[in-house]
Amino acid sequence: MTGVRAATPADYDRIIAVVDDWWGRPIHGILPRLFLDHFHRTSLVAESGDELAGCLVGFLSPSQPDAAYVHFVGVNPDFRGTGLARRLYETFFALAAADGRTVVHALTSPRNTGSIAFHEAMGFTVVHGQGHDGPGSDRVLFRRSLAPGG
């Protein structure tokens, strides 16, 4: 049985130790410790016994009162295809909606076709963001309304 709970700052070390393996490429640079120190209350950890099964790092935008943002989601390869990322997102949607947020944003790299397919399956709209993070940076931007019928 895989349980999902709010993250704590102490979860950082076990998350950062596995993310490069989970992504299959060096990715740890996009998750500095500050995310767990300052956004753990809106981030989630999934565990099966002592094993880390997945995590979601997200926050409620301090500057856009209607918006929440998912910075990072990853599922242990041994637990993929079981609906765990969907469960993490739905838990995050519920906590964001409880705070009055009506839209969730996320982004990925155009080469991350698995992430794009996952976000489409989760009902996000997909927009190409050329130069989004500066010259030469291509991103795929995701947006999903939390409003009923939205």
Ligand X SMILES: CC(C)(COP(=O)(O)OP(=O)(O)OC[C@H]1O[C@@H](n2cnc3c(N)ncnc32)[C@H](O)[C@@H]1OP(=O)(O)O)[C@@H](O)C(=O)NCCC(=O)NCCS
According to the binding rule CB under 6 A, does residue 118 interact with ligand X? yes
Question: In the set 49, 81, 134, 148, which binds ligand X (CB under 6 A)?
Answer: 81
How many residues lie near ligand X (CB under 6 A)? 20
48 touches ligand X (CB under 6 A): no
Asked if 86 touches ligand X (CB under 6 A), the answer is yes
126 binds ligand X (CB under 6 A): no
Does residue 84 bind ligand X (CB under 6 A)? yes
> Contact between 29 and ligand X (CB under 6 A)?
no
Four-point Cα dihedral 67, 122, 127, 44, nearest 10: 50
Residues contributing to the site for ligand X (CB under 6 A): 22-23, 72-75, 80-86, 108, 112, 114-115, 117-118, 121
